[in-house]
Amino acid sequence: MNRAFGPRPAGRGPTLAQTVDVDPAEQTTVLARRSAVVQLSLAEGRRVLLHPVVLGAVALLAAPWLIEAVTAPAATSYRVLTQESQWIQIPMLLLAAATYLAANLAGLRPFRSGTVGTEGTASMPRWHRSAAQVMGLLGVAAVSSILTVGRLAQLAAQQGAAGRVMPAELLTVPALVLFCGVLGLVVAQLGRTLMVSALILALLTIVVLLLVFAMSDLGWLSLVAYDDPFSPGPTPSELVGRPAGWHVFYLLSASGLLAVVLFWSGGLPRPAGVTGGVLCAALLITTAGAQLAPVSEELVAARQQARTAPAAQQICEIRGSITYCAFPEFDSRIDAWDQVARGALAAVPPSATPHALTIRQRLQVPSTGGRFGPPPLAEWSADDLAAGTPDTVPVSTRWATGGNRVSDQRAVLDLALVLADRLVTGQGLAPEVAPRCGAQGAIVLWVALAADPAVGAALDTVNQASSSSATVSASVLDSSAGYFIGERETTLGTALAARPEARDLVHAHWDQLTDPATSVDEAAELLGLPSPDPITADWAWCR
């Protein structure tokens, strides 16, 4: 204190009190109070941060991430950081709820300990103590930021990470932690019992959950908005268009308004309270409105172009006879696609290998009326011709080679099957599901499985989540287009994949095996494998 308020050395200019012409004694009191508020905020911040419920929440958030990083790093590969920036807000709601409870218990301390009646005798006004409690929440908000950034850094460092970290989405996390903390303090001040606080938390959970499920724009008026531009799949970050920045200001202005209510109940001078309240309310209304503004027409057009004619937005990389075209943020996936594509080409005889092949990344096809939508094949074809890359093979913005992300691993299987079908049948993608029966179906599956071990692993994961693992079906890019490989064909194809000499056998009988007229039984005989059991069901796509 002496160092801060003692006489200044000569020649250093006027003192603060002389400059603003205020009574030095009064100035000293103001500065001392500010210092006391800062000291109290440090103490309150430490108490909230070290509260068991906050520590428990941090542990429950961080432990699975650490365990995953050590024991199953493949599960965190091929993540789209644009999506992850948004999705991380959902688990961080746990820390926000924990902060609410810890702050609430701190706010209830005078009521629970029975000292509320003696507060008037304290030298520090109550709203100063409330201000210290609000400032103390910055510590836990900082911890939430560290957790968020740490998790995103972990995902960004993994193989095949794509997309871009969205700073505004990350800033939402500390903003919502701060909001929940201030709400906990206000509820403590007004409700005065833990019972009220807990029931308000339950009510808040319901509101957030309903708005998340409703998936309406009103979600932006809640804590986290689940308005999902990633449905039905990841998109380049410039096409996302979420008003995340406005949402951060919305949460901060809501926190500010709650803080003013808290300070007001603690004796904040009327002019400051009115000014702060009006300012925060104006900000809240402005940011709420800005969040609910419709998406610009330019963005809608850009999204549509990316779905139907993405060539102009993509970069291409030529590797031998294969050209890979991807949205720039997804070029880290080319290595993985190349591994599958080279494996598929190596599985077929050189005579069946095309001179040139282009694999082009495409966005998932939105569903129509709850059913798989038709792929825009005509638009894709025109775009490919204009780009000088006809008959491209589509590949999704999704990808995964480990973990349990079924829809992402399905993309691996889809690429392998589309490629295998192109190489075996020579046909392009049809608007409806194409059944591949007979020897041809078994060979399509074998080429796909021989392409890369990741394809077999993906098939296992998909089968585990599926009601039927006896057949293989693929819906390319979640559209109505795809392939169906029958039960007997699947049995023969997987049995063939288990044999080390399969490649030589298939190459020796390639023409017969890829002939649509060759049956499964004939193929089994050619390959020296037992014929699969006959189908007993009344109806089957492939018999």
Partner 1 sequence: MSQRWVPDLLDSVRRTTVLTPLLVSSTLGVTLLAALLTLGVRLAPMDVASTLRFSLAVTLVGATFLLDDPARTSTQALPVSPARVAAIRLAFGTAILTVSWIAQLLLAPQLSNSSLPFDPRPFVIEAYGIVVWLWVGAAWRAPHDRKGSGASFAAPALLLLFVALMLLPDSVALFVDGDSPDLVASRWRWAVVLLTGVISLALLLAPSRRRRRS
Q: CB nearer to partner 1: give 98 or 455.
A: 98
Query: Applying CB under 8 A, what is the total number of residues that bind partner 1?
Result: 28
Rg (CA), the chain: 31
- Give the separation between CA 288 and CA 464, rounded to whole angstroms: 44
Nearest to 497 by CA among 538, 540, 456: 456
Q: Which is nearer to partner 1, 2 or 113 (CB)?
A: 113
Q: Which residues contact 348 (CB under 8 A, 6 or more apart)?
A: 423, 424, 447, 510
Which residues, other chains included, contact 509 with Cβ-Cβ below 8 Å and sequence gap of 6+? Answer: 526, 527
Q: Is 292 in the site for partner 1 (CB under 8 A)?
A: no
140 near partner 1 (CB under 8 A): no
Minimum Å gap between C-beta 102 and partner 1 is 8
Residue 328 as a binder of partner 1 (CB under 8 A): the answer is: no
Contact residues for 119 (Cβ-Cβ < 8 A; gap 6+)? 110, 126
Contact pattern from residue 48 through residue 87 relative to partner 1, giving x for each residue in contact according to CB under 8 A and a dash for the rest: ----xx--xx--x--xx-----------------------
Which of the ranges 95-103, 343-351, 435-443, 501-509 carries the binding residues for partner 1, by CB under 8 A? 95-103
Helix (H, G, I), strand (E, B) or coil at 140: helix
Q: Is 117 in the site for partner 1 (CB under 8 A)?
A: no
Measured in degrees and rounded to the nearest 5, phi and psi for residue 197 equal: -60, -45
Helices 167-191, 194-214: inter-axial angle, 10-degree rounding: 150
Name the β-bridge partners of 368.
371
Segment contacting partner 1 by CB under 8 A, of 80-88, 205-213, 353-361, 454-462: 205-213
At its nearest, how many Å lie between partner 1 and the CB of residue 29?
Answer: 34
Spatial separation of the C-alpha atoms in residues 402 and 47, rounded to whole Å: 41
| Distance (Å) of CA 248 to CA 171, 258, 261 | 7, 15, 20
Kindly write out the interface string for residues 143-182 of this chain, putting x where it contacts partner 1 by CB under 8 A and - elsewhere.
Answer: ----------------------------------------
Interface residue with partner 1, options 94, 124, 279, 283 (CB under 8 A): 94
Task: Provide, rounded to whole angstroms, the least separation between the CB of residue 114 and partner 1.
Answer: 8
Applying the rule CB under 8 A, the residues between 233 and 272 that interact with partner 1 are none
In the complex, the smallest distance separating the C-beta of residue 195 from partner 1, rounded to whole angstroms, is 5
Q: What are the start-end ranges of the H helices in 327-431?
A: 334-347, 377-387, 406-425
- Residue from the set 30, 90, 199, 378 that interacts with partner 1 by CB under 8 A: 199
Q: Are 339 and 452 in contact (CB under 8 A)?
A: yes
What is the smallest separation between the CB atom of 247 and partner 1, expressed in angstroms? Answer: 22
| CA–CA distances in Å: residue 431 to residues 374, 426, 478, 483 | 6, 16, 12, 11
Q: 226 vs 264, which CB is nearer to partner 1? A: 226
Q: Is 512 one of the binding residues for partner 1 (CB under 8 A)?
A: no
Judged by CB, which is closer to partner 1: 101, or 171?
101
Q: Which of residues 359-398 bind partner 1 (CB under 8 A)?
A: none
For position 195 contacting partner 1 by CB under 8 A, the verdict is yes
Single-letter amino acid, residue 334? I
Question: What is the DSSP pairing of strand 393-395 with strand 315-319?
Answer: unpaired
Q: CB nearer to partner 1: give 227 or 384.
A: 227
Length of the chain equals 543
Whole-number Cα distances in Å, 146 to 43, 152, 171: 21, 10, 11
Q: Which two tokens stand for residue 97?
A: 């709820």
Beta bridge partners of 319: 322
Backbone φ and ψ of 358, nearest 5°: -120, 130
205 versus 296: smaller Cβ distance to partner 1: 205
Kindly state the smallest distance separating residue 94's Cβ from partner 1, in Å: 6
Cβ 522 to partner 1 shortest distance, Å: 37
Contact in structure between 396 and 411 (CB atoms under 8 Å): yes
203 or 300: whose CB is closer to partner 1?
Answer: 203
Write phi, then psi, for 380 (nearest 5 degrees). -60, -45
Closer by beta carbon to partner 1, 105 or else 177: 105
Site for partner 1 contains 105 (CB under 8 A): yes
Name the residue type at position 529. Answer: L
209 near partner 1, rule: CB under 8 A:
yes
Cβ-based nearer residue to partner 1, 193 or 512: 193
Task: Return the range that interacts with partner 1 (CB under 8 A); candidates 36-44, 143-151, 203-211, 351-359.
Answer: 203-211
Smallest CA-to-CA distance from 343 within 456, 249, 491 is with 456
**Per rule CB under 8 A, is residue 113 in the interface with partner 1?**
yes
In sequence order, the β-bridge partners of residue 484 are: 435, 473
212-231 positions binding partner 1, by CB under 8 A = 213-214
Which residues of this protein are in contact with partner 1, per CB under 8 A?
52-53, 56-57, 60, 63-64, 94, 97-98, 101-102, 105, 112-113, 194-195, 198-199, 201-203, 205-206, 209-210, 213-214
